[in-house]
Amino acid sequence: MTTKLPQYLVLSDGSELGLAISRYDERQRALRLCLPKVASCWDYAPLIDVVIREAGFDLFKFKGQSVAQWLTLYRSRNAPEYETCKRWYEHIFSECESAWERFPRIPDNHYCTEADHPPLRSTMPDLIRGLGLRRANVDQWVASIKALTQKGLKSEELEMSGILTRLERMPEDTKPTQKDVMQMIDLTHVMPKFACEASFGYIVKGGWQEVCQRIPENEYRRRRLIGKGYGALHLTRYWHKSLGWSIIRSKYQDLLTEQPAWWSVADQHGKLINQPADGFQSLDHAIEFAEYDMRQRFSSWGRNHPLAKWEKYSLPGSNEYREILLQLDNWPLSYQPRHYRTRNALVHIRTGSTRKTMDGRKILFLDEIQSDWHADLNANSTQGLRKVVPNAPFRKEWPLLSMKLMLWWAQKLNMMVWRGVQPNCSWLAGKVMGRRKCFIAPNYPKPLLNFPNCLVSGMTERHYP
């Protein structure tokens, strides 16, 4: 007789382990992992997250490991729990094996990648060190930490850290040290990731140069061009500057040809590549086919390329347009934004990157800063909508968080002049956005609309070294 394994695996300290598939799609696209047609539980193991719920907490948190990483770690340490955990995972997988077959086998070439690592850190450790307590009982620690909200610590940050819950679960006669208390702070689930949506491949766009060179008749056979004698004309009309491929315009007509003119694609040696026998009817189709074939041939040179989904809504004249996402990848709840495929995108920022002022200074120009997540939460609370929207952090602080990160980004791009107290970062005024046909003004409160002016006035009152 076999005993049925529980849905959650209970650890010795009372914590519960579970499995989560909310990041399955993103993991598969980021790893570019193609699954076999008949896949086992171990084929899915790199795509399934292990989550943990500590005793005293309501929500599970990501453990930071996939099932494959988790079990590999146990096995490398010869842990006695390895066989139990392995058997538990196989059981959970077998219970819903039919559901796994609905997942895609080949991932899309569209995923989220980390663009940079901003130096974000919590103020809580410094405030706790400032208390001067080296060792104290639990009640004294709890009272002292709660009092930090009067010294600048935000209540939301204190609640999200979970430090009070972990202290209150300790025996009353315990006297934790300052180091023990610091280790109870856990804010990894609210640390935003500075990311962007990307695709993997070899970018070949934008390298075509217009030319007009007639191909000699003695080259027709070597280049696999049809026609001979009077009436045959083959012109090289476009040439790729980096790879040497070319787009050929051909004109010829006899009893066998179905059309008098067509476009063809030739490789760097001038020979026609495998393409439709009657060529292409338009130049756009020929260039699109050439770029696709180049990407396939040079895929080994591929890398991550940021995607620009909403570039047409930016002001003209931008250089190095970017779309940046502040993603809460480790947030236990899942939210799907309206503008992007990346889950838990807290804020999206569209920036034209570098522009120049009339006096020649480089500036970081911001086209838009928006939060679909908080806009939906605001609509639910003010308009009474019934859309299910999970709770999110930074409900009042997301504009400030976004501007802080953009000022850091501008400084990293060497666009900051601290000594002159002039941050080289600019954005569209609300009046300008209102005159654009594509802009629909959201129903934000008035203090939020005045936030940029308040930020600038606050910065000009400071003096930076």
DSSP assignments along 258-302, one per residue: S-SEEEEEE-TTSPBPS--TT-BSSHHHHHHHHHHHHHHHTGGG-
265 and 357, same domain (yes or no): no
For 191-213, the pLDDT digits (tens) are 999 999 988 766 666 678 889 99
Q: Is the pLDDT of residue 221 over 80?
A: yes
Q: Looking at the domain assignment, is residue 328 inside a domain?
A: yes
Overall domain count for the chain = 4
Q: Looking at the domain assignment, is residue 115 inside a domain?
A: no
Residues 6+ apart with CB under 8 A from 266: 223, 236, 245, 246, 247, 248, 272, 273
Q: Is the pLDDT of residue 430 over 80?
A: no
Q: Is the pLDDT of residue 463 over 50?
A: no
443 and 316, same domain (yes or no): yes
With contact defined as beta carbons under 8 Å apart, do 180 and 316 qualify? no
Measured between alpha carbons, how far is 17 from 92 in angstroms, rounded to an integer? 12
Measured between alpha carbons, how far is 363 from 407 in angstroms, rounded to an integer? 11
For 22-51, the pLDDT digits (tens) are 898 888 988 888 888 888 899 999 999 999
270 and 330, same domain (yes or no): no
Stronger pLDDT, 358 or 408, i.e. the higher one: 408
404 and 331, same domain (yes or no): yes
Most confidently predicted of 180-189, 290-299, 407-416 = 180-189
For 55-75, the pLDDT digits (tens) are 889 889 999 899 999 999 999
Amino acid type, 405: L
**Closest of 209, 208, 227 to residue 218, by C-alpha:** 227
- Whether the model pTM is above 0.85: no
Q: Looking at the domain assignment, is residue 346 inside a domain?
A: yes
Helices vs. strands in the chain: H and E counts, helices first? 17, 17
Q: Looking at the domain assignment, is residue 203 inside a domain?
A: no
325 and 449, same domain (yes or no): yes
Q: Looking at the domain assignment, is residue 117 inside a domain?
A: no
133 and 96, same domain (yes or no): no
Task: Identify the pLDDT of residue 39.
Answer: 87
3-state secondary structure of 336: coil
3-state secondary structure of 323: strand
Q: Looking at the domain assignment, is residue 417 inside a domain?
A: yes
For 89-123, the pLDDT digits (tens) are 999 888 887 777 788 888 888 888 888 899 898 99
Task: Identify the pLDDT of residue 413.
Answer: 80
Q: Looking at the domain assignment, is residue 1 inside a domain?
A: no
Mode of pairing for the β-strands spanning 425-427 and 362-370: parallel
453 and 316, same domain (yes or no): yes
228 and 271, same domain (yes or no): yes
Measured between alpha carbons, how far is 401 from 118 in angstroms, rounded to an integer? 11
Q: Is the pLDDT of residue 165 over 90?
A: yes
Summarize the confidence of residues 237-250 as an average pLDDT: 88
Measured between alpha carbons, how far is 190 from 331 in angstroms, rounded to an integer? 6
Summarize the confidence of residues 331-359 as an average pLDDT: 87
315 and 297, same domain (yes or no): no
Host domain of residue 337: 311-460
Residues 6+ apart with CB under 8 A from 230: none
Please, how many CA atoms are within 13 Å of residue 263, restricted to the half-sphere of its CB? 16
168 and 29, same domain (yes or no): no
